[in-house]
Structure 1
Amino acid sequence: MRKIKLGSSNLEVPVVAVGCMRINQLQPEQAEKFIQTALELGANFFDHADIYGGGACEEIFAQAIHMNDNVREKVILQSKCGIREGRYDFSKEHILNSVDGILRRLRTDYLDVLLLHRPDALVEPEEVAEAFDILQSTGKVRHFGVSNHKPMQIELLKKYVRQPILANQLQLSIMHAFMISQGINVNMDVPAAYDRDGSVLDYCRLHDITIQPWSPFLYGFFEGVFVGNEKFPALNAKMNEIAARYGVSNTTIAIAWLLRHPAKMQPVIGTTNLQRLEDSLKAAEVNLTREEWYEIYLAAGNALP
């Protein structure tokens, strides 16, 4: 599996991360098979969150991988905190308590990466900084990042937080490419030109923050999968054409499209299907041409000015 450095750190990670949001939908033997298949294919970066399955996904993962000290050395674990029922919470107390719960459920002494899940309107960055310092000094968390944050929110955190922000997990796919489209349609009076995120793509590139696209197969906000969907005939026809050219599936092409971007992204795949897992990981071996990338972009219904 091809690797990249996460953000400005020396932590080398696979170019595709395995998301564990739906692992609680698998039977124990299926979960074990799924994780072992990922590891055999070189995908040892696993993404979690304390809210996935109400915490059950982390417990299931630890059981399925038979977590022990030897296993722990072979995997990279990332989790997220900050979402609570009916609110978001970046308070020092909640961050520290959340991490303790995550570590307990994952049966480990430390996280490789902790992300703040969704922006808390009541964030007090001084408290986040205190929490990060404690987590780092106690060895509970080695690296930090955010999720669904725009540039000025990250800048506010950076005013107080000493640790580098290494990653920003954002929704991005062929059918949800607003952060790309607004950079193409500069100074145009069209919906694709609307800046929804403060030029977060360019910001992350400028500041060596790895973008981790989530839901890389979905359109809308959890509306459905676009791969093989009859609602998008032109896109799927183009993806199938290019997939045949490389001898891979259209699932592979959907991930390869993200990997082709020079921002050096790390897509997080949330599938629990073994075939889709394998197809997704094959994208690390496919390097689309500039022409193919734009053909897919246009087939998704985007236009160039």
Structure 2
Amino acid sequence: MKKIAVLTSGGDAPGMNAAIRAVVRAAIYNGVEVVGIPRGFSGVMRGDTIAMNLGSVADIIQRGGTILYTARSEEFKTREGQEQGAQALRQAGVDGLVVVGGDGSFHGAQVLDRLGVATIGVPGTIDNDIPCTDETIGFDTAVQTAVEAIDKIRDTATSHERTFVVEVMGRHAGDLALTVGLAGGAESILIPEIPFQLEDVIAKLERGVARGKRHSIIVVAEGAGSGIEIGKYLQHHTGFDVRVTVLGHIQRGGPPTARDRMLASQLGSHAVALLLAGEHGKMVGVEHGQLHAVDFDTVFATPRTPDQELFDLADKLSI
């Protein structure tokens, strides 16, 4: 293993830069040349590489986003595009590749691995929807960002005696909404994995009003429904003053928390160690505080479900 490449792919997540830094410095520490590939798999197909040294990753551990940029590539999903990418990596002398991203990125990583480029995946997504790891890079920061926003929204909800629907990210996974809702004291949490009826949300709102409650917060994952449409429905059927806030991409930005910087540093360094040990076709993760590596096939075959106990706790505490 003489030359390692690193790329970021899919949606950006706070802590990706910390992961890049860890990969670059761990490689250099071990006497291995390292390059960055800009714009994900699009860059792979074009054969784009950027020589990385210690200075390349100085002062980035605290920065959100990704200095390597990220892009989705429809062309790479074709067999021709995949073979072109693998050939471009071989021509660049790349022996090993670290892919920082989510589920879609890992499918691309697995293809390159099977085409002869040793690949390790590092889970980076604010949705926390990757199995076989307790947490993904960016999740903790996104939670903090959303909770801080809800704290501010609650102030104005209290002042104006309003109900607020707050939509957070999570197209297929409710981890973000569930964690944010519990930490933010939401009255109701709507996530795509657990069926719900808006009539039950209304009943809870009306019980609150009956005991003198003057404001409420409802957190909804984008995959569970449109916050705007849910807000309209609630206002129409209750007559309450309902406002909607869609947090959107604000959740992806900002400096990563210390927790995300630590996680990214550990996973990025461990990815390099695995490549140097001859391992590939795996994702690095952390379970019960311990670093481990899992085959991509196992990751793809393992269902990712929300924590039912947390959901029940949130429901219990919102009476």
Greater relative CO (CA pairs within 8 A, separation 6+): 2
Q: Assess same fold via TM > 0.5.
A: no
Greater percentage in helix? 2
Shorter-chain TM band: 0.3 to 0.5
Q: What TM-score results when the alignment is normalised by the length of structure 2?
A: 0.33
Q: What TM-score results when the alignment is normalised by the length of structure 1?
A: 0.34
